[in-house]
Every structure is written in C-alpha cells, then in structure tokens.
Amino acid sequence: MIPGPFSYHRPATVADAVKLLTTLGDDARPLAGGHSLVPMMKLRLATPEHLIDLHGIDGLKGIRRDGDNIVIGAMTTQHDLLASDEIAKSLPILHETALLIADPQVRYRGTVGGNVANGDPGNDMPALMMTLGASYRLEGPSGGRDIAASEFYQGAYFTALEPGELLTAISIPAPAAGHGYAYEKLKRKVGDYATAAAAVVLTMAGGKVTSCSIGLTNLSETPLLATDAAKAVIGTSLDPATLKKAADAATAIMSPAADARGPVEYRKHVGGIMVTRALTRAAAKAN
C-alpha cells in the first residue's frame, strides 16, 4: 500500500512548526516516529497533504529532572526510556511499559509524544500517564498551556489538542520512594496492542495500602482511571475479597469494542484479571 501524495516540511523550531500547522490547517499533521501515522496513511485512513517532521527541532528530545518532576521531551523515543537511568530509578513502571510496546524496531522510532498525542485507545502510554498524574505541555498559536493527562482524551483519536497545537513535553511527578507498581498487558502475540491492560501505582505501610491509582488501556474508546477500584483497596491488605471488589469496580466502567481481540464480555473479563494481577504484583514490590 502506498500513501497519497504529501508535501514534507522540516521546521527547526517549535514556533516554526506551530506556524506551519496554523497556516496549513487541517491538511497538515505533525510527524514524529511515524509508526502510527504512516501505517494509517498507507491504508489511506489518513491523507494529510502536509507532514511537519519534528525531528529537526532541538530540545524536543531528552529526559530531565525538574524538582520533584521528571520531564520527558515529546520526541524522546520508547527506546530512550528503556536506556535511561533516571527512568529506571524514578519511574520503573515506564520502563516496564515501554518494554511491552511492539518490538525493538518500533521502539527505536516511536516517540512518547506521538504515543500520547495519537489518541488511539490501544496505545499503552496514555493510561499510564493518567495513573501517574502526568501533565502535557502544549504550544500553540496563542502560547503555551499545561493540561492534565486525565483531561486530554475525549474520544478515539479525539484529544484536547486545539488546531495548530503541538505537544512538546510530558511532566510526571516522581512517585514516592518505595512505591509498588505494575503494568499488566494481555496481548494475542508478542508485538500486539493490548486486548486489555492495567497500570497500578500504590504505596503501602504496615501491610496496608495507603494510596493507589489504577489506569486501564484499550477497555474503552479512551484510557480510563479506575477511581472506585483504587478507593476500594485503600486501607486494606489486598485480601482476596478486596481484590474481587476492585476488579468488579474496574470492570463496571469498561466498555471495550468487540473486535479481532475478542467480544466485549471476554475483554471486560480479562480486563478485571489484569487489574487483579497488577494490584497483586504492585503490592509485592512496595516497601
């Protein structure tokens, strides 16, 4: 399959990219790693007339500590996450999740910014960013703004990005030392998108859960925060009855599509299992 014709632009600054996106309007799309956009173009599901390649812009790549936050440039690749000591030390769940995305070839090109800006319910990073309380930095024709990841996703491929806006960085509050974490992902085969996945970040004291956040991937047309499920485990030792209660509360908010990954009831069922497994494994890691 061959994409339709398009013009290629390679701006050197964020301001130039925003100007191009603004003047070219709906016919233009940012190009990051191209591992979601180009397959869509080859299938003619996306037919942008202008591609604005972000690779020429200095400063959009990298991982840095800013006080209590870890700031990741939009053009940082999934492989960069895996190679980062800062991520391994402060945000090990990001390392664990990146390793479950596709295969090394995709991870060398695919960017974190592209993954979270794409709006595909099957992308793994969005639910994780919501679980971690991350925010996104957006630059547009009327200046910059920050938006919580939990407010960014509005529907499948529909986000809070306004015309002309570019996502430039992701800011994640460093979780407490000793936190437990797990990303559990059921997929049909290595390299596949999730049939169902759950992210858990929690803290424990004296054998009881003191804080918990749970995110769900590919179990609705947007990533979900399972807040009632997370509340159900606070103050407990994650005994079997509590785990079931949490899985039931999470399942109640799932509305996955019926597709090649299975019918709705099956995907909700395995979604509950992912929540149970992620909670159990996160608790075992907490200290």
Ligand X SMILES: Cc1cc2nc3c(=O)[nH]c(=O)nc-3n(C[C@H](O)[C@H](O)[C@H](O)COP(=O)(O)OP(=O)(O)OC[C@H]3O[C@@H](n4cnc5c(N)ncnc54)[C@H](O)[C@@H]3O)c2cc1C
- What are the residues binding ligand X (CB under 6 A)? 29-37, 39, 54, 74, 101-102, 106, 110-111, 113-115, 117-118, 123-125, 161, 166-167, 191, 193
Nearer to ligand X, 61 or 277 (CB): 61
Write down the least CB distance from residue 137 to ligand X, Å: 10
For residue 41 the two structure tokens come to 């173009």
Nearer to ligand X, 164 or 175 (CB): 164
User: Count of CB atoms within 10 A of residue 132's CB?
Assistant: 23
Query: Do the beta carbons of residue 141 and residue 28 sit within 8 Å?
Result: no
- Between CA 10 and CA 16 the distance in angstroms is 9
Nearer to ligand X, 35 or 277 (CB): 35
Nearer to ligand X, 118 or 150 (CB): 118
Write down the least CB distance from residue 144 to ligand X, Å: 13
Write down the least CB distance from residue 174 to ligand X, Å: 23
- Between CA 153 and CA 49 the distance in angstroms is 25
Q: Where are the alpha helices (DSSP H) in 124-239?
A: 125-131, 227-233
C-alpha distance across the termini of the chain, in Å: 51
Write down the least CB distance from residue 125 to ligand X, Å: 6
Look at residues 241, 230, 244 and name the one whose alpha carbon lies nearest to residue 282.
230
Write down the least CB distance from residue 38 to ligand X, Å: 6
Query: Do the beta carbons of residue 278 and residue 183 sit within 8 Å?
Result: yes
Query: Do the beta carbons of residue 153 and residue 223 sit within 8 Å?
Result: yes
Write down the least CB distance from residue 213 to ligand X, Å: 19
Nearer to ligand X, 33 or 215 (CB): 33
For residue 179 the two structure tokens come to 């936190």
Buried b (16+ CB within 10 A) or exposed e, 79-90: bbbbebeebeeb
Nearer to ligand X, 108 or 266 (CB): 108
